[in-house]
């Protein structure tokens, strides 16, 4: 799986060239940034590649995240869908099917695979981290590119690549890799942090007439 404009000067860090920053400096500043986040909202563009089908499916929407494993992914294209969790329950609502799948939220939502707020505030605890290319720490956009390997890999997440803005220490894009060599690439824009998102945003109430189907979230 972010946050809005806050310059390095406002965080009390001296201006340092992105290319001159050490890995420890980058990790420390990202952890500090995300530890301070209570919630965030962002627009996202997603590209999911399925290797077995050799097919890429684009999607887009808005994501809301809050500490405690709370999340709300609202997909607007190609097919409207909502994925909502209050940290305890998980709802997946698909209007085209007129049904909502309901189950217990998986433990992964509280960790790096499911929550930027939980995982990025403790990078060194959850991942081994290196620059993707130590000889060239930044990409053409001037952002750091980090290569993360989970200390406890899961089938759904064996590697995570992050593009980090060196002015604000925010994740601008993420690429998730699973054990089957499928990838999900997400780019985040219009980021708003600590906007005071209400808890009711993370509790799903099915519309009248919608079928409820149990979901095995484990």
Confidence (pLDDT) at 107: 57
Give the strand order in the sheet containing 99-104.
Answer: 127-131, 144-150, 159-165, 170-177, 183-193, 39-50, 55-66, 70-77, 81-86, 89-94, 99-104, 211-214
124: left (phi over 0), alpha (psi -120 to 50) or beta: alpha
pLDDT band, residue 156 (cuts 50/70/90): confident
Nearest to 178 by CA among 206, 150, 200, 199: 150
The residues pairing with 150 across neighbouring beta strands, listed in sequence order, are: 127
pLDDT value at 1 more than 50? no
Confidence (pLDDT) at 117: 60
Phi, psi of 98 (to 5 degrees): 55, 45
Confidence (pLDDT) at 171: 93
| Torsion sign across C-alpha atoms 47, 64, 122, 5 | positive
> Domains of the chain: which residue ranges?
16-214
pLDDT value at 96 more than 80? yes
For residue 55, what is the enclosing H or E element?
A: strand 55-66
Nearest to 136 by CA among 147, 127, 126: 147
Confidence (pLDDT) at 119: 73
pLDDT digits (tens, 9 = 90+) for 14-52: 344 677 789 999 999 999 999 898 999 999 999 999 999
Average pLDDT over residues 87-114: 80
pLDDT value at 61 more than 60? yes
Confidence (pLDDT) at 75: 96
CB atoms inside a 10 Å sphere around CB 56:
11
Percent of the chain with pLDDT over 70: 85
Q: 165 vs 142, 188, 189, 194, CA distance in Å?
A: 8, 11, 12, 18
Give the right CATH number for 16-214 from 3.40.718.10, 2.50.20.10, 2.60.40.10, 1.20.1630.10.
2.50.20.10
Measured between alpha carbons, how far is 62 from 202 in angstroms, rounded to an integer?
13
């Amino acid at each position: 799986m972010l946050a809005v404009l806050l310059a390095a000067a406002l965080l009390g860090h001296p201006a340092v060239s992105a290319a001159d920053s050490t890995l420890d400096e980058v990790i420390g500043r990202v952890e500090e940034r995300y530890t301070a986040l209570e919630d965030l909202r962002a627009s996202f563009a997603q590209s999911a590649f399925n290797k077995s089908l050799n097919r890429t499916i684009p999607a887009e929407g808005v994501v809301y995240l809050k500490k405690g494993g709370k999340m709300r992914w609202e997909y607007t294209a190609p097919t409207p869908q909502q994925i909502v969790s209050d940290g305890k329950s998980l709802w997946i609502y698909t209007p085209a099917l007129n049904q909502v799948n309901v189950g217990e939220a998986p433990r992964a939502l509280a960790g790096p695979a499911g929550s930027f707020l939980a995982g990025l505030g403790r990078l060194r605890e959850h991942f081994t981290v290196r620059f993707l290319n130590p000889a060239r720490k930044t990409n053409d956009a001037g952002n750091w590119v980090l290569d993360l390997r989970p200390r406890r890999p899961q089938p759904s997440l064996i590697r995570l690549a992050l593009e980090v803005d060196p002015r604000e220490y925010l994740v601008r894009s993420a690429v998730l890799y699973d054990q089957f060599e499928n990838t999900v690439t997400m780019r985040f824009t219009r980021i708003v942090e600590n906007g005071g998102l209400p808890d009711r945003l993370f509790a799903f109430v099915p519309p009248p007439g919608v079928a409820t189907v149990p979901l095995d979230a484990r």
